[in-house]
């Protein structure tokens, strides 16, 4: 029998890892002090954080919310935290929030933009969360509740509130019972929102809606034997005849017979984030279809169409937005018939739409290029015509690939709405803030208004980019 | 069996223009052409009518008239007696100056931030994420205005730097002093030391643009040094491939690169001129407007955030296997980065990087927020308002911006083709 006395017959109990290899010490060693270089980086980072905190924290802690001027703010801060102490003066925001949000929109009508924003989000719910009842009900319910609270704070008439509550409750119920029905709201929202914001006779948007209805009717009736392109053209011709020649007389007649309407608001009363949202949302909504068409045109076999699209896209992408905005205000008047004078906000929206459509077209072209040729050939093999292939096979895949680019174009567009200040509109950043800072009571204030405006922009843009990440995840079908 | 080519030849009917795919595209193109021509004709007609109504014509003669306004930042000489055309060129040079400096520094900031965002250092990675997200999601105009306002409203007036005789007598120091005794930031602008030559070479004028021969000589010397240095390195490489031993070249390179330039500068009497307070403002050195500083800093930080994301994406796009393969071959981490990762990542990074440069160049037009006199400020601003020639000024301005953009993007295409994966 061999002598094996030194062989252990039972396992030793596990020992705890050494102190440097566990818990907070391990984490610190690995994440902050793994090498001399990293240690230096960490120390620099800590110094940066320390200096920022040292400057910003007392300033934030000494915030003043109730004051009527910057001087009063400073006196309050000095009284509470000692002389020469710094403190944020949010009282400015408290006093002027309505200008930042609504510009010079009449104060008693604030419920209209608020309701328009609420309805916008509700009408977006079925698009953003298509087929997801729970998410869409959560969104609609939250938005409806918030809108109602905001309306209750703005308008104290109980009958109005009951009407609003019933309407918003009805929408929430619809989102629960039949989420896809909400798409009806999405379709009519552009005109509804327009009417809520600008007011005036209800028959004008109805007239425009009838034009679109005519377009769709003609398209559906003639599509089967004229083809998509020609049928769309025919629809546009009929609708244009209605809009240009017939609509005015019909709507005036209806207005005379049954006057229905709200107080009309002119565009120069729009301002602040209301203006940024109106321009941003309209341009985002309208630029996507135009961008898709431009991208398809750029890929087209038809030489003329291709040249036109390439020329347009390259031209627009080659000039700064500000020159495009100047074109809207200075040159458009030359290109239109004499004495035409249409709304400056509308002009800006149209040109901003075309501007971002060109960028979108390039993004979507990237998505189209990423698609294997086999997809097109498969569509041909199935006997689909061009538009069917685009709608059913090409676009769903190409758009999915280009989601990050599309959303970052949208974010850029929303940020660029601040540039309308340079053509005399009241954007929240330059327009409103300059007016506010010019007030003698608030002269010398700068951090607070810019932080407020920047924070709202950040929230919206960051939200958009997070949503695009969510959408990418949701639509991901590859198994990697 | 019949093939498509053997299909019976039908006689042409008018309806085939719509129903036959062979002819439909021509129909559509002709229709589009007609509509386009009609639209252009309508617009031209309107423009002619509108111009006639306002008593204007299209005429570029104003470019040779006296401008009559001052531009405070000028790279080539300009007075208010110069022409509108020259003012436009000054503006264009200001645009290009800010775009050039901006592109260089935005790349540096972006690469550092992008690499650090991937760092294993938790704190630094988080800080860089905060930087990138904050700058990407807030409008550029806000940064420009905020930086400008902070500069003009928080920095002291020039008179606070003044040291009067009474203060010397009382042994007092001035309220403010210059940073490192060289840089003075006041609420009017910044003054930084400027390079000066005691014995400069003469300046010659070519087509009213003065060209300093000193600068030309300096550039020639530097270019020559770089060329010689290349020869030295090439020779070293040849020897290495022949014998396997690389000769020591670092001291030769240093000597060739720096000695001639330093010798030339010393011969011309190079020194720095420091700003000095004289009367109510600083003189000497280079005066930098706050509008320039604000626009430049904002552009660098804003574009840097976008570049950081591009760099990060480019590095992440290279699969981990490449690093591992390089390690398996025995390459050290530094050489792995230089020889394996970066060449591949650059192919992903460069095209979007150039398009960021393009964006930066176009965004210099936002100098309007702080009244920076760039191309938009001169040609599309003061000149347009003074002469009332919106049409001509806008056309010229758009044309120039378009030319710059097309130039940059054609350079990008050349580069793209040169680094494209060569598939054979």
CB contacts of A334 in chain B (<8 Å) are: 46-47, 50-51, 390-391
Angle at CA of residue A249, ends A244 and A253, nearest 5°: 150
On whether residue A436 sits in a domain, the answer given is: yes
Residue-wise pLDDT for A35-91, tens only, equals 888 889 899 999 999 999 988 888 888 888 888 888 888 888 888 887 777 888 888
pLDDT value, residue A455? 94
A30-33: long-range contacts, CB 8 A cutoff, minimum separation 24: A30/B120, A31/B120, A31/B121, A31/B122, A31/B123, A32/B121, A32/B122, A32/B123
Question: Could you tell me which residue, B122 or B171, shows the higher pLDDT?
Answer: B122
d(CA B139, CA A417): 9
CA distance B320 to chain A (A): 15
* The residue to which tokens 């935005």 are assigned: B106
Is-contact A198 A264, C-beta < 8 A?
A: yes
On whether residue A325 sits in a domain, the answer given is: yes
Q: Token digits for A87?
A: 């403190």
**Looking at chain A from residue 224 to 243, which residues have their Cβ under 8 Å from any Cβ of chain B?**
226-227, 229-230, 233
Q: Token digits for A270?
A: 């729009």
**Closest residue on chain A to B402 (Cα):** A318
Domain count, chain A: 1
β-sheet with B184-185: strand ranges across: B184-185, B189-192, B286-289
Residue-wise pLDDT for A420-437, tens only, equals 888 888 888 888 888 888
* SS3 sequence of chain B: CCCHHHCCCCCCCCCHHHHCHHHHHHHHHHHHHHHHHHHHHHHHHHHHHHHHHCCCCCCCHHHHCECCCCCCCCCCCCCCCCEHHHHHHHHHHHHHHHHHHHHHHHHHHHHHHHHHHCCCCHHHHHHHHHHHHHHHCCCHHHHHHHHHHHHHHHCCCHHHHCCCHHHHHHCCCCCCCCECCCEEECCCEEEECEEEECCCCCEEEECCEEEEHHHHHHHHHHHHHHHHHHHHHHHHHHHHHHHCCCCCCHHHHHHHHHHHHHHHHHHCCEEEECCEEECCEEECCEEEEHHHHHHHHHHHHHHHHHHHHHHHHHHHHCCHHHHHHHHHCCCCHHHHHHHHHHHHHHHHHHHHHHHHHHHHHHHHHHHHHHCCCCHHHHHHHHHHHHHCCHHHHHHHHHHHHHHHHHHHHHHHHHHHHHHCCCCC
d(CA B107, CA B303): 8
Question: Could you tell me which residue, B22 or A426, shows the higher pLDDT?
Answer: A426
pLDDT value, residue B1? 44
Instruction: Count other C-beta atoms under 10 Å from residue A287's C-beta.
Output: 25
**Secondary structure element (H or E) that encloses residue A466, with its range:** helix A447-475
Bridge-partner residues for A201, per DSSP? Answer: A261
What's the rounded mean pLDDT across residues B23-33?
85
On whether residue A441 sits in a domain, the answer given is: yes
**Closest residue on chain A to B406 (Cα):** A318
d(CA A186, CA A192): 10
Is-contact B260 B225, C-beta < 8 A?
A: yes
**Secondary structure element (H or E) that encloses residue A261, with its range:** strand A261-262
B174-179: long-range contacts, CB 8 A cutoff, minimum separation 24: B178/B275
Range of lowest pLDDT (A130-144, A335-349, B15-29, B126-140): B15-29
Is-contact A238 A218, C-beta < 8 A?
A: yes
The 8-class DSSP code of residue A7 comes to S
Question: Could you tell me which residue, A424 or B15, shows the higher pLDDT?
Answer: A424
**End-to-end Cα spacing for chain A:** 58
Residue-wise pLDDT for B134-173, tens only, equals 999 999 999 999 999 988 888 877 777 777 777 777 777 7
Examine the pLDDT at A263 and tell me if it is beyond 90.
no
Q: Token digits for B12?
A: 């042409």
**Looking at chain A from residue 104 to 133, which residues have their Cβ under 8 Å from any Cβ of chain B?**
none
What's the rounded mean pLDDT across residues B343-355?
86
Q: Token digits for B400?
A: 């120039």
Residue-wise pLDDT for A458-478, tens only, equals 999 999 999 998 888 888 776
pLDDT value, residue A479? 56
Burial category of B272 from C-beta neighbours within 10 Å (exposed 0-12, middle 13-18, buried 19 and up): exposed
Instruction: Count other C-beta atoms under 10 Å from residue A125's C-beta.
Output: 26
Is-contact B75 B292, C-beta < 8 A?
A: no
What's the rounded mean pLDDT across residues B13-28?
76
Range of lowest pLDDT (A98-107, B17-26, B125-134, B387-396): B17-26
Burial category of A441 from C-beta neighbours within 10 Å (exposed 0-12, middle 13-18, buried 19 and up): middle
Given B121, B134, B380, which is nearest A38 (Cβ)?
B121
- For β-strands B209-212 and B270-273, DSSP reports them as unpaired
What's the rounded mean pLDDT across residues B175-183?
71
Of B156, B94, B132, nearest in space to B295 by CA:
B94
- For β-strands B194-197 and B203-206, DSSP reports them as unpaired
CB contacts of B18 in chain A (<8 Å) are: 226-227, 230
- For β-strands B276-278 and A200-201, DSSP reports them as unpaired
Q: Token digits for A392?
A: 């059913």
Share of chain B above pLDDT 90, in %: 28
CB contacts of A318 in chain B (<8 Å) are: 401-402, 405-406
What's the rounded mean pLDDT across residues A383-391?
88
Of A397, A283, A279, A288, nearest in space to A345 by CA:
A279
Q: Token digits for A352?
A: 């901003």
CB contacts of A327 in chain B (<8 Å) are: 394, 398
Examine the pLDDT at B130 and tell me if it is beyond 50.
yes
The contacts of residue A80 (CB under 8 Å, 6+ apart) are A62
- The verdict on ipTM greater than 0.85 is yes
pLDDT value, residue B8? 56
What's the rounded mean pLDDT across residues B333-346?
84
On whether residue A190 sits in a domain, the answer given is: no
What's the rounded mean pLDDT across residues B236-258?
86
CB contacts of B124 in chain A (<8 Å) are: 41-42, 44-45
pLDDT band at B3; cut points 50, 70, 90: low
d(CA A472, CA B298): 31
Whether B406 and A317 lie within 8 Å, measured CB to CB: no
pLDDT band at A152; cut points 50, 70, 90: confident
Q: Token digits for A100?
A: 């930042």
Residue-wise pLDDT for B268-279, tens only, equals 878 777 777 777
On whether residue A457 sits in a domain, the answer given is: yes
Residue B227, CA atoms < 13 Å, CB-side half-sphere: 6
Of A112, A106, A103, nearest in space to A151 by CA:
A112
On whether residue A32 sits in a domain, the answer given is: no
The contacts of residue B401 (CB under 8 Å, 6+ apart) are A318, A319, A320, A323, B362, B365, B375
CA distance A253 to chain B (A): 32
Examine the pLDDT at B97 and tell me if it is beyond 80.
yes
CB contacts of B150 in chain A (<8 Å) are: 446
Is-contact A92 A450, C-beta < 8 A?
A: no
CA distance B396 to chain A (A): 11
d(CA A275, CA A280): 8
Q: Is A305 on the interface with B (CB under 8 A)?
A: yes
Four-CA torsion A357, A362, A366, A367, nearest 10 degrees: 10
The 8-class DSSP code of residue A301 comes to S
CA distance B121 to chain A (A): 5
Whether B401 and A320 lie within 8 Å, measured CB to CB: yes
Q: Where are the alpha helices (DSSP H) in A319-446?
A: 321-326, 332-335, 344-369, 373-381, 386-389, 395-401, 403-416, 433-438
The SS3 of residue A202 is: coil
pLDDT averaged over every residue in chain A: 86
pLDDT value, residue B2? 46
pLDDT value, residue A478? 67
Range of lowest pLDDT (B260-264, B333-337, B360-364): B333-337
d(CA B356, CA B313): 14
On whether residue A124 sits in a domain, the answer given is: no
On whether residue A464 sits in a domain, the answer given is: yes
pLDDT value, residue B365? 92
The SS3 of residue A262 is: strand
**Range(s) of the domain holding residue A395:** 267-480
* SS3 sequence of B90-130: HHHHHHHHHHHHHHHHHHHHHHHHHHHHCCCCHHHHHHHHH
Range of lowest pLDDT (A244-248, A350-354, B112-116): A244-248
Of A228, A234, A195, nearest in space to A214 by CA:
A234
CA distance B415 to chain A (A): 19
CATH value at residue A441? 1.10.3720.10
Ramachandran area for residue A353 (φ above 0: left; ψ -120 to 50: alpha; else beta): alpha
d(CA B302, CA A453): 17
């Amino acid at each position: 029998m061999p002598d094996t006395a030194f062989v252990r017959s039972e396992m030793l109990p596990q020992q705890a890892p050494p102190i440097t290899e566990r818990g907070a010490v391990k984490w610190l060693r690995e994440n902050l002090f793994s090498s001399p270089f990293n240690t230096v980086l960490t120390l620099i980072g800590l110094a940066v954080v320390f200096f920022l905190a040292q400057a910003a924290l007392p300033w934030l802690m000494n915030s003043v919310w109730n004051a009527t001027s910057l001087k009063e703010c400073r006196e309050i801060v000095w009284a509470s935290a000692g002389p020469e102490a710094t403190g944020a003066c949010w009282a400015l925001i408290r006093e002027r929030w309505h200008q930042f949000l609504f510009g010079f929109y009449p104060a008693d009508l604030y419920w209209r933009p608020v309701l328009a924003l609420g309805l916008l989000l509700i009408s977006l719910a079925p698009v953003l969360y298509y087929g997801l009842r729970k998410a869409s009900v959560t969104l609609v319910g939250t938005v409806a509740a918030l809108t109602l609270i905001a309306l209750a704070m703005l308008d104290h008439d109980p009958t109005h509130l009951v009407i609003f509550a019933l309407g918003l409750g009805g929408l929430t119920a619809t989102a629960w019972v039949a989420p896809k029905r909400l798409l009806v709201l999405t379709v009519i929202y552009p005109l509804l929102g327009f009417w809520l914001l600008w007011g005036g006779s209800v028959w004008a948007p109805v007239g425009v809606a009838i034009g679109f209805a005519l377009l769709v009717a003609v398209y559906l009736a003639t599509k089967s034997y004229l083809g998509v392109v020609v049928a769309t053209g025919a629809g546009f011709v009929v609708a244009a005849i209605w809009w240009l020649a017939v609509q005015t007389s019909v709507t005036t007649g209806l207005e005379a017979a049954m006057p229905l309407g709200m107080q009309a608001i002119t565009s120069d009363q729009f301002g602040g984030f209301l203006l940024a949202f109106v321009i941003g949302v309209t341009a985002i909504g309208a630029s996507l279809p135009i961008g898709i068409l431009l991208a398809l045109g750029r890929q087209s076999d038809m030489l003329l169409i291709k040249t036109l699209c390439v020329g347009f896209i390259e031209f627009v992408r080659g000039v700064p937005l500000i020159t495009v905005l100047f074109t809207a205000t200075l040159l458009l008047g030359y290109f239109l018939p004499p004495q035409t004078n249409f709304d400056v906000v509308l002009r800006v929206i149209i040109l901003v739409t075309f501007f971002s459509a060109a960028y979108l077209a390039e993004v979507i072209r990237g998505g189209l290029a990423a698609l294997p040729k086999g997809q097109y050939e498969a569509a041909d093999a199935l006997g689909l015509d061009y538009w069917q292939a685009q709608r059913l096979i090409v676009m769903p895949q190409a758009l999915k690939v280009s989601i990050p680019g599309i959303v970052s174009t949208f974010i850029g567009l929303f940020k660029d709405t601040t540039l309308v200040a340079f053509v005399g509109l009241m954007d929240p950043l330059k327009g409103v803030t300059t007016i506010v800072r010019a007030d003698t009571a608030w002269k010398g204030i700068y951090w607070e208004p810019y932080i407020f405006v920047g924070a709202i922009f950040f929230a919206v843009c960051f939200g958009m980019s997070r949503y695009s990440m969510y959408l990418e995840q949701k639509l991901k079908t590859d198994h990697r | 069996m019949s093939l498509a080519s053997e299909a019976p030849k039908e006689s042409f009917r008018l309806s085939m223009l719509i129903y036959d795919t062979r002819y439909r595209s021509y129909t559509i193109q002709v229709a589009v052409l007609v509509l386009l021509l009609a639209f252009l004709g309508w617009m031209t007609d309107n423009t002619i009518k509108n111009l006639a109504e306002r008593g204007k014509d299209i005429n570029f003669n104003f470019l040779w008239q006296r401008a009559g306004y001052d531009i405070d930042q000028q790279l080539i000489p300009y007075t208010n007696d110069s022409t509108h055309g020259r003012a436009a060129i000054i503006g264009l040079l200001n645009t290009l100056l800010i775009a050039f400096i901006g592109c260089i520094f935005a790349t540096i900031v972006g690469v550092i931030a992008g690499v650090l965002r991937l760092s294993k250092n938790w704190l630094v990675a988080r800080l860089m994420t905060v930087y990138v997200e904050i700058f990407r999601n807030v409008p550029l105009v806000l940064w420009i205005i905020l930086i400008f306002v902070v500069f003009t409203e928080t920095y002291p007036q020039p008179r606070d730097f003044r040291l009067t005789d009474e203060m010397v007598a009382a042994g007092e120091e001035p309220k403010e002093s210059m940073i490192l005794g060289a840089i003075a930031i006041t609420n009017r602008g910044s003054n930084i030391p400027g390079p000066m030559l005691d014995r400069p070479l003469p300046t010659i004028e070519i087509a009213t643009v003065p060209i300093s021969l000193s600068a030309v000589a300096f550039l020639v010397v530097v270019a020559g040094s770089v060329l010689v240095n290349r020869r030295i390195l090439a020779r070293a490489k040849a020897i290495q491939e022949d014998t396997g031993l690389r000769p020591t070249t670092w001291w030769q390179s240093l000597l060739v690169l720096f000695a001639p330039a330093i010798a030339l500068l010393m011969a011309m009497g190079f020194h720095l001129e420091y700003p000095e307070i004289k009367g109510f403002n600083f003189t000497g050195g280079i005066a930098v407007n706050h509008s320039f500083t604000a626009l430049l800093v904002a552009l660098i930080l804003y574009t840097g955030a976008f570049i950081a994301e591009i760099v990060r994406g480019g590095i992440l796009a290279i699969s981990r296997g490449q690093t591992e393969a390089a390690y398996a071959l025995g390459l050290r981490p530094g050489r792995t980065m230089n020889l394996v990762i970066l060449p591949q990542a650059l192919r992903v990074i460069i095209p979007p990087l150039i398009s960021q440069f393009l964006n930066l160049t176009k965004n210099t037009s936002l100098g309007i927020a702080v009244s920076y006199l760039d191309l938009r400020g001169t040609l599309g601003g003061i000149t347009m308002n003074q002469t009332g020639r919106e049409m001509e000024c806008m056309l010229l301005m758009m044309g120039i911006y378009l030319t710059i953009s097309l130039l940059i993007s054609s350079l990008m295409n050349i580069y793209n083709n040169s680094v494209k994966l060569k598939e054979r």
